Amino acid sequence: MSSIITEKYNALWSDPKLVKRIDEGIRINRQSDARVRVTNFEGKPLPGIGIKVEQQDSPFNFGANIFKLGDFPEDTLNLKYEDAFCNIFNRATVPFYWRGLEPEQGRPRFSQHSVPIARRPPPDRVVQFCQDKGLRMHGHTLVWNYRKWSTPDWLPTDPEQAAPLWEKRIQEIAERYGDAIASWDVVNEIACHYEKNPDGMAMLPNYGSTAFAWSEKYFPTETRFDINEATGAWDIEDPEYTQLIEGILKEKRRMGAIGLQFHKFKDKDLLKVLAGDNSRPMDLLDALDHYTKFNLPLHVSEITLTSPENNEAGLAAQAEVAKNLYRLWFSHAAVEGITWWNLPDGCGAPGEHKVYSGLLFEDLSPKPAYHVLQDLIHNEWRTTEEGVTDADGYFNFRGFHGSYRIITSSQWSDSGMQSAMTLEPGKRTDQLIFL
């Protein structure tokens, strides 16, 4: 079957200047130098000691939404979903859409035993699962005035009457989950101006800043508060998102990160990318560079890439585009996380569920794109090194940031002794081991 990846697309992504920037960005921004030194208890260096360093985790957030947790009709499918999620991601976006969380006023569906609603697992269940599996969590979203997905039918349409209910919602969520979930999308898609069309809920002026103020009032001081915006945020020729951020920061609100959605909901959208006419790599880098002026982390917060027709050519194209985008985003110093949106096919919101945009087929078996990203995250961007200490007892290596286990081997009786170290941005790490 012929490829749908065009020569123009390949030329853009194989440009030597781009390749160099991405490769150097990954090396400089995601790796650090480290050395292990082995001595005896008198401080005499021990040469020839075998050293193996194994990276255990990464501070970078690789995530997806976890909206389908426990939502399949069979236990075997639920287990397959859980395994597929945990075998690639270290972070989960937890749904807090008001419409699904509190369809009946005063009876929020927090508990694990709540009545099931599709794609809206009770937060207690998600939090427990993530804690059991060691997954980080990101709450989405506290304030979003889109009626179709977010606001409950009982919410008053008058902004003055609705405002105290918005605040009460934030207070209740903070009291229950503030210590468990470290980061939140405080506001979502303000620049879409839903309040100006029938799909939106009218809001008080400057409600973005007000939402941040409410969040600061009720959540722990260490909680990170994000702003999140639709895919148009990548068009930096349109200054609106920039101005929104500037306005909230000017009011001294505690914004912690900037969210940038990246949705290609239709096959024709991906075909424009593959034609080299949309989302060109240098344009994406220019957008990331633009937002760095705020000195805040950037979160590529929602990703949709279709695999046109789910045939061989479409699957290969999805995998290629995903790999290129993840490498570009991972290379940029300001990006701290990348979040795929709908993990399996057929599991998106109505309208999204008809396209093949998952990393898994509907039977939850992996697509090529799943394997490509899994290889990047757990192999290419994960360090394991082996060698022996030199004459001065040193073993030097360069590794990706994260925590490491160190295993020694020698002729001594304490061969196999283990230690640990952490590689962090901007500094060399030294670890001393006594044998």
Query: Is the pLDDT score of 412 beyond 80?
Result: no
Residues 18-34 as b/e (b if ≥16 CB within 10 A, e otherwise) read: beebbeebbeebbbbeb
Q: What confidence score (pLDDT) does residue 427 get?
A: 85
Alpha carbons 319 and 361: distance in angstroms, whole number = 13
349 — pLDDT class (breaks 50, 70, 90): confident
Q: What confidence score (pLDDT) does residue 177 get?
A: 98
Mean pLDDT (whole number) for 244-270: 97
Query: Is the pLDDT score of 413 beyond 60?
Result: no
Q: What confidence score (pLDDT) does residue 415 get?
A: 63
Side chain identity at residue 160, one-letter code: E
All structural domains of the chain, each given as residue ranges with its CATH number in brackets, are 7-55+385-434 (2.60.40.10), 61-380 (3.20.20.80)
435 — pLDDT class (breaks 50, 70, 90): confident
Alpha carbons 414 and 410: distance in angstroms, whole number = 8
Alpha carbons 322 and 300: distance in angstroms, whole number = 13
Q: What confidence score (pLDDT) does residue 200 get?
A: 95
Taking only the tens place, the pLDDT of each residue in 107-158 is 999 999 999 999 999 999 999 999 999 999 999 999 999 999 999 999 999 9
Q: What confidence score (pLDDT) does residue 352 get?
A: 77
Of 378 and 434, the one with more pLDDT: 378
Mean pLDDT (whole number) for 159-167: 98
Nearest to 405 by CA among 18, 27, 30, 34: 34
Q: What confidence score (pLDDT) does residue 354 get?
A: 79
Q: What confidence score (pLDDT) does residue 345 get?
A: 97
Query: Is the pLDDT score of 268 beyond 80?
Result: yes
Average pLDDT taken over every residue of the chain: 96
Alpha carbons 78 and 82: distance in angstroms, whole number = 6
Q: Is the peptide bond before 242 cis (omega within 30 degrees of 0)?
A: no
Query: Is the pLDDT score of 233 beyond 70?
Result: yes
Of 91 and 198, the one with more pLDDT: 91
Mean pLDDT (whole number) for 99-114: 97
Q: What confidence score (pLDDT) does residue 1 get?
A: 62
Q: Which of 122-136, 353-367, 414-428 is the least confident region? A: 414-428
What percent of the chain has a predicted confidence (pLDDT) above 90? Answer: 93
Under 8 Å between Cβ of 55 and 403: yes
Q: Is the pTM of this model over 0.95?
A: yes
376 — pLDDT class (breaks 50, 70, 90): very high
For residue 408, CA distances in Å to 274, 403, 429, 433 come to 48, 17, 18, 9
- 3-state class (DSSP) for residue 152: coil
Q: What confidence score (pLDDT) does residue 2 get?
A: 83
Query: Is the pLDDT score of 414 beyond 70?
Result: no
Under 8 Å between Cβ of 248 and 186: no
Query: Is the pLDDT score of 262 beyond 60?
Result: yes
Taking only the tens place, the pLDDT of each residue in 278-331 is 999 999 999 999 999 999 999 999 999 999 999 999 999 999 999 999 999 999
Query: Is the pLDDT score of 395 beyond 60?
Result: yes
| β-bridge mates for residue 31, sequence order | 400
